[in-house]
Amino acid sequence: MIDKEIRNRIIELVHREVVPAIGCTEPMCVALCTAKATELLGCRPERIEVQLSANILKNAMGVGIPGTGMIGLPIAIALGGLIGKSSYQLEVLKDLTPDALEEGKRYIDEKRIDIQLKKGITEKLYVEVTCRAGDKARTAIIAGSHTHFVDVNGVASNGKPAHSCHAETGSDDIALDLRLVYDFATTAPLEEIRFIEETRKYNMNAAREALKGNYGHNLGKTIDRPLSKGIFGNSIYAHIIARTASACDARMGGAMIPVMSNSGSGNQGICATNPVCVYAKENENTEEELIRGLMLSHLTAIYIKQSLGTLSALCGCVVASIGSSVGITYLMGGNFEHICRSVKNMVANLTGMICDGAKPSCSLKITSGVSTALLSALLSMEGKCVTSTEGIVDDCVDKSIHNLTAIGANGMGPTDDMVLEIMTSKGC
């Protein structure tokens, strides 16, 4: 069994990276920063000036804001300044009322909000909000991770520059590899890791709540309809993609439903949770197997994000789907060798799926990722694995993962720039 000190560090890491969130984490991050700047100001701001990194801007442009029926940053910023509480973290807008929503709409109509792209920064996750009232102004900055505040000089509470904080580089975190992830998830005392079952309660509930409304593109509902059953069948596969897509539909469509996020992304949290939960239920796995499968899934995603970064040009469903494939492979009875094969199969298939912002159609990408997760697990259990003579896959599973993250973090940089340019210049 892994040394207790190491287990405790891993548990601390998971607790930090797997947290509740309402709505898409990028606009909620901006709302959180606005709430903090407002609290520092000490009164209702007369004007709010916001400067964002390109990745934050991209991910916040087209997504529904919970409880508002509206899309995008302006309403998130307005409500962050009017009713947001920074102590709520990524649930910053949970006190929203109909009256507050109307007040937020008026605030937008009065042209009190200015949103700009922050120039000259290398941070992929950067939010700077200045709230003004009369001749008084206060600024709050988030950098590195969605809830990590730094001061106006870019210095964190630990005295380090923002760009060196653990949230972005992982320098203060335990360095994971897939063997450590597997050994921890499969051997840690059950009571130490039982908390991960909270992800099931949150994210499967989001899937159920989604069926009560019409959110996003209704992909989850569509897969459950009679015509779709004639195509996909009444199968474990169909149930997995329906429950995963439904939760994403609700979250991207602006439902006031909390989900358990992973590495700063609610969709990643959903994708790492729901496929594992549905498979475990229908395969009649034990409670212990479910808990260990969930930990494998979530910790694998956290491990991959350590080298990929909080935000990147690579769609987060690639990362989370690798996690769910690992979790499902374990529930199928797979050992570490099987899990390595599943990871390599995933890397061979999904590499290059771009992130073009958070939006309702993210459910389509999640469905693609989860479908590949199941296929990769099945191939692995049959002894099939993409070899090192093919593409970016290496004999070493960790090297395969780092090949994937190098492409996402570095190689796809120009792609990210092009995506943002296209998104901000649409029109005939």
pLDDT tens-place string over residues 96-117: 999 999 999 999 999 999 999 9
Question: What are 46's two structure tokens?
Answer: 């007369």
- Do strands 126-133 and 47-52 pair parallel, antiparallel, or not at all (unpaired)? antiparallel
Question: What are 210's two structure tokens?
Answer: 């989604």
- Tell me how far apart the alpha carbons of residues 203 and 220 are, in angstroms, rounded to a whole number: 14
pLDDT interval class at 71 (50, 70, 90): confident
Beta bridge partners of 136: 133
At a CB cut-off of 8 Å and minimum separation 6, what does 194 contact?
291
Question: What are 4's two structure tokens?
Answer: 């207790």
Question: What are 137's two structure tokens?
Answer: 């102004």
The mean pLDDT of the chain is 91
Phi, psi of 368 (to 5 degrees): -60, -45
- Percent of the chain residues topping a pLDDT of 70: 95
Question: What are 158's two structure tokens?
Answer: 């630990």
- Tell me how far apart the alpha carbons of residues 209 and 330 are, in angstroms, rounded to a whole number: 28
pLDDT for res 358? 83
Between CA 406 and CA 413, with CA 407 as vertex, the angle to 5 degrees is 105
pTM: 0.88
For tokens 């601390």, what's the residue? 12
Instruction: Please answer whether residues 25 and 90 qualify as being in contact, where contact means their C-beta atoms are separated by less than 8 angstroms.
Output: yes
How far the first Cα of the chain sits from its last, in Å, is 61
Average pLDDT of the segment spanning 29-47: 96
pLDDT for res 332? 98
pLDDT interval class at 301 (50, 70, 90): very high
pLDDT interval class at 347 (50, 70, 90): very high
pLDDT for residue 428 is more than 90 = no
pLDDT for res 256? 85
Beta bridge partners of 143: 126
pLDDT for residue 64 is more than 90 = no
Q: Cα dist. 422→29, 311, 417, 419 in Å?
A: 24, 19, 9, 5
